[in-house]
Structure 1
Amino acid sequence: MLTTAGSARPRSHARRLRAAEAIGIITGYGLDALIGDPRRWHPVAGFGTAASALEKRVYAPDRAAGARFAAIAVGAPVLAGAAIAGLTRRRPVLRAVAVAAATWTVLGARTLRAEAHTMAGALEGGDLATARGRLGHLCGRDPSALDEPELARATVESVAENTSDAVVAPLFWGAVAGLPGLLGYRAANTLDAMVGHRSARYARFGTAAARLDDALNLAPSRLTAALTVALAPLAGGDPARALRTWLRDGHRHPSPNAGQCESSMAGALGVRLGGRNVYFGRAETRPYLGDGAPPLAPDIARAARLSGAVGLTAALLATAWRLTAGVRTTPAGGER
């Protein structure tokens, strides 16, 4: 079919917007890699403060109140992203800037790896006090009685899970849904960290936030696991072993998503994850994932290296996907 000049202009503009968003995603990833999280005035921290204020107004110990809370707290960033996208629909340069800023805001790759290396350094130096003090930056376990293997295990498990939560998943939703996807995902993931746990206060109120986060991470966690398998040689691992461990153990974890990331990481590193986790006032026994010995300090550095490779690959895939989003071809090869 012949293409008129009038119909070609909207398509050309759409291509420029897609290119702007692709540039924004890879630029935002680069900013996170070079600079990391801002030390002050972090927008995610500001969102957490606003969400806490909202919780005080709507809290009730039931699931309906929790669903209203999640709908408002996640819906507002999604609408904000849609509004910014609308305001920049004729300004590709501003769209690229907005996507870059949002991507930088929602990613946590550099911070994750930095915390992992700090833990590895403390453990290699035999400084258990420092390592125990830093564990709270990675997960919510009680570190007071943990030795080196348990501190290393907690760190590797956190690196594996947060490679999806803080890196691959936001990139995935940015690629799929642009600005609303970037902001909406980070809001949902932050809410899950705030209220999605099984404490007396949040057992029912946090259900909606936890289920939403589970749903949004179904695809990204499996993409993270697949990339971990493919890139295992960068950490001295065997992709075949990583794949076997993922397929065998991925479903054993109580989380539908964390087990995917942790089992593939265990297989890639050739270590065993899982076991008894002690939180403040609560203990859980998790199934073992992988074979071999528990991880030690050197395995943390390997996990961080693999996490970085997975994140970079996910950023390149997200950029490529956003660049080509919406492109369709006719049987004759023309764009439509």
Structure 2
Amino acid sequence: MRTDHVAYACGAVLGFLGDRVVGDPRRGHPVAAFGRAAGAVERRLWRDDRGRGALHTAVCAGGTVLVGALLARAARRPATTLGGLAAETALTAAATWAVLGGTTLGREARVIGAALAAADVDAARDALPRLCGRDPQALDTQQMARAVVESVAENTSDAVVGALVWGAAGGVPGLLGFRAVNTLDAMVGHRSPRYRRFGWASARLDDVVGWPGARLTAALAVLAGPNPRGAWAVARRDAGSHPSPNAGPVEAAFAGALGVRLGGTLAYAGRVEHRPALGAENRPVEVADIERAVRLSRRVSALALAVTVAGRLAYGAATMGTHQGDR
């Protein structure tokens, strides 16, 4: 077995467990540091122009992948095989913990769910912007519950599964690169007047790198729910009606797995969107469904870890004979 694949597998498991145990720090998170750096680059490069936006994406995402590659290379330099394995494992664990956000996702969703269950609508509205970009003042209790379930579904792919997929494919550079692209999309990829052109490249690249993780998330949500056949029917029928090529399969799969209806009218700052229903035959979302969505998200995340680590190890075993120079 190739040592770099063993190191990745051990590090990914340790990083995943680290996220489960401690979640994201309130201060000093590496992703926040990247966001500040990307913001500084934006201030220098911004023009209402797609080319400048593409350059911004290349500098920020490409630079992050390069840093990941240099760190991975340095971790392989210890003189002994055991020392290299330990260094690679530690680096992968740190990178995995840094890019995953599943525990914080569930924690924020539960805060809103508890506020709604206690009929404290004002507290729920105050907490909602930490989870999604919708206008909380335009939402009632049921609409906020639906927004939370949809955000849990989409971010299970964005904050967990997609990162694990790219980590299995590309190691530490894949982990860091995926998170960089996803963060850039959140920063500049939305269709505001400032970012309609400048953020185009980040938004399109996020669609590309998010594609495999979204499909794996949808498949695992179907399998992990109580009615896989029904969930598959909803996912296959309704995924394409969503305007996002990646959020559509994930939200449709969660709608089918939870037996609820997602989609409909969404209010963002300054605009309203009317989306087709996902799982139109199901009941509306209730506050109690927030906890069910969080539990489904955790099951999907654990399954994604198992699938991606197994895939990485299987590939390492299959290619061991072709890498004669591997330690």
- Which TM class, normalised by the smaller chain length? over 0.9
How far apart, in 1, do the equivalents of 2:318 and 2:283 lie?
50
Residue 163 (structure 2) pairs with residue 170 (structure 1): yes
Shift of 1:316: 1.5
Shift of 1:322: 2.2
Query: What does residue 66 of structure 2 align with?
Result: 79
Query: What does residue 321 of structure 1 align with?
Result: 311
One-letter code of the match for 1:57?
R
How far apart, in 2, do the equivalents of 1:73 and 1:83 lie?
15
Query: What does residue 174 of structure 2 align with?
Result: 181
**Aligned residues of 1:25 and 1:318 also touching (Cα < 8 A):** no
Determine helix, strand or coil for the equivalent of 1:198. Answer: coil
Match of 2:247 among 258, 262, 270: 258
Match of 1:198 among 180, 191, 201: 191
Determine helix, strand or coil for the equivalent of 1:325. Answer: helix
**Aligned residues of 1:249 and 1:289 also touching (Cα < 8 A):** yes
Query: What does residue 96 of structure 1 align with?
Result: 89
Query: What does residue 303 of structure 1 align with?
Result: 293
Shift of 1:315: 1.1
Shift of 1:325: 2.6
**Aligned residues of 1:228 and 1:264 also touching (Cα < 8 A):** yes
One-letter code of the match for 1:214?
D
How far apart, in 1, do the equivalents of 2:220 and 2:288 lie?
21
Residue 268 (structure 2) pairs with residue 275 (structure 1): no
Query: What does residue 57 of structure 1 align with?
Result: 44
Shift of 1:313: 0.7
Query: What does residue 81 of structure 2 align with?
Result: none
Identical positions, percent: 52
How far apart, in 2, do the equivalents of 1:244 and 1:133 lie?
36
Deviations 1:69-112 (A, max 9, x none): 00000001100111111112241111100000000000000001
**Aligned residues of 2:239 and 2:249 also touching (Cα < 8 A):** yes
**Aligned residues of 1:78 and 1:180 also touching (Cα < 8 A):** yes
| RMSD of aligned residue pairs (Cα, Å) | 1.2
One-letter code of the match for 1:312?
A
Query: What does residue 116 of structure 2 align with?
Result: 123
Determine helix, strand or coil for the equivalent of 1:328. Answer: helix
How far apart, in 2, do the equivalents of 1:264 and 1:70 lie?
31
One-letter code of the match for 2:136?
P
One-letter code of the match for 2:266?
N
Count of aligned residue pairs for this structure pair: 315
One-letter code of the match for 1:326?
G
Query: What does residue 17 of structure 2 align with?
Result: 30
Give the alignment of 1:147-158 within 5 angstroms: 147-158=140-151
One-letter code of the match for 2:252?
S
Shift of 1:335: 4.2
Shift of 1:240: 0.8
Give the alignment of 1:135-150 within 5 angstroms: 135-150=128-143
Choose 1 or 2 for highest CA Rg.
1
Match of 2:236 among 234, 247, 263: 247
**Aligned residues of 1:156 and 1:303 also touching (Cα < 8 A):** yes
Query: What does residue 6 of structure 1 align with?
Result: none
Deviations 1:17-47 (A, max 9, x none): 2111110001000000000001211000000
How far apart, in 1, do the equivalents of 2:120 and 2:148 lie?
15
Deviations 1:162-186 (A, max 9, x none): 0000000001100110011000000
**Aligned residues of 2:162 and 2:213 also touching (Cα < 8 A):** yes
Gaps of 5+ in 2: 78-83, 323-327
Shift of 1:261: 0.5
Residue 270 (structure 2) pairs with residue 284 (structure 1): no
How far apart, in 2, do the equivalents of 1:16 and 1:188 lie?
28
How far apart, in 2, do the equivalents of 1:96 and 1:126 lie?
46
Q: Structure 2-normalised TM-score?
A: 0.94
Shift of 1:301: 0.5
One-letter code of the match for 2:126?
G
Query: What does residue 105 of structure 1 align with?
Result: 98
How far apart, in 2, do the equivalents of 1:247 and 1:317 lie?
22
Shift of 1:224: 0.2
